[in-house]
A and B are shown apart, each in its own frame.
Chain A
Amino acid sequence: MQLTSSSIGRKILMAITGQAMVLFAVVHLLGNSSIFGWLNGGINAYAEHLHSLPLPIIVGFRLALLAMVCVHIWFGIQLTIENRGGRPQQYAVKSTQKATFASENMIWTGSLLGLFLLYHLAHFTLQVINPETAALKNLVPLHNEMVPNVLGMVVTGFKNFFVSFIYVGAMVTLFLHLSHGIQSFFQTMGWSCDKSQPLLVKFGTLVALGLFLGYVTIPLTIFAGILKG
Chain B
Amino acid sequence: MSDHKTMTLTLIVWRQKNASDAGKFETYTAKNITEHHSFLEMLDCVNEDLIHTGKDPIVFDHDCREGICGMCSQVVNGAPHGGQERTTVCQLHMRKFKDGDTIYIEPWRARAFPIIRDLIVDRSALDKIIQAGGYTSCHTGGVADGNAILIPKPVADEAMDAAECVGCGACVAGCPNGSAMLFTGAKVSQLAILPQGKGEAAARVRNMTNTMTECGFGNCTNHYECMAACPKGINVKFIARMNREFMKALIA
Task: List chain A positions with a Cβ less than 8 A from chain B.
Answer: 2-3, 6-12, 79, 82-99, 103-104, 106, 180, 183-184, 187-194, 197
Contact A91–B243 (Cβ < 8 Å) = no
Contact A87–B240 (Cβ < 8 Å) = no
Task: List chain B positions with a Cβ less than 8 A from chain A.
Answer: 12, 25, 75, 77-79, 83, 104, 106, 109-112, 174-179, 181, 206, 209-210, 212-213, 216-225, 227-229, 235-237, 239-244, 246-247, 249-250
Q: How far is the CA of A194 from the CA of B238 in the complex (A)?
A: 9
Instruction: Kindly identify which residue among A6, A90, A94, A180 contacts B222, using a CB–CB cutoff of 8 Å.
Output: A180
Q: A86-B179, A192-B237 are in contact. Are A91 and B250 (CB under 8 A)?
A: no
Q: How far is the CA of A97 from the CA of B206 in the complex (A)?
A: 30
Contact A187–B104 (Cβ < 8 Å) = no
Given contacts A7-B212, A93-B77, A94-B78, 13 further A-B contacts (CB under 8 A): A6-B213, A12-B246, A85-B216, A91-B106, A93-B106, A98-B223, A98-B224, A98-B225, A103-B223, A187-B240, A187-B243, A189-B247, A191-B240
Contact A8–B243 (Cβ < 8 Å) = yes
Contact A93–B104 (Cβ < 8 Å) = yes
Instruction: Kindly identify which residue among A85, A180, A188, A193 contacts B243, using a CB–CB cutoff of 8 Å.
Output: A188
A182 CB to closest chain B CB (Å) equals 11
Contacts of A92 in B (CB 8 A): 12, 25, 78, 104, 106
A145 CB to closest chain B CB (Å) equals 49
Contact A11–B243 (Cβ < 8 Å) = yes
Contact A190–B240 (Cβ < 8 Å) = yes
- Which residue on chain B has the smallest CB distance to residue A191? B240
- Which residue on chain B has the smallest CB distance to residue A185? B222
Q: How far is the CA of A95 from the CA of B111 in the complex (A)?
A: 19
Instruction: Kindly identify which residue among A8, A87, A96, A104 contacts B242, using a CB–CB cutoff of 8 Å.
Output: A8
Q: How far is the CA of A99 from the CA of B78 in the complex (A)?
A: 13
- 23 A-B contacts (beta carbon < 8 Å): A3-B250, A6-B213, A8-B242, A8-B246, A9-B246, A79-B221, A82-B219, A86-B112, A86-B175, A87-B175, A91-B104, A91-B106, A92-B25, A92-B106, A93-B78, A96-B225, A98-B228, A180-B222, A184-B222, A187-B239, A187-B243, A192-B240, A197-B240
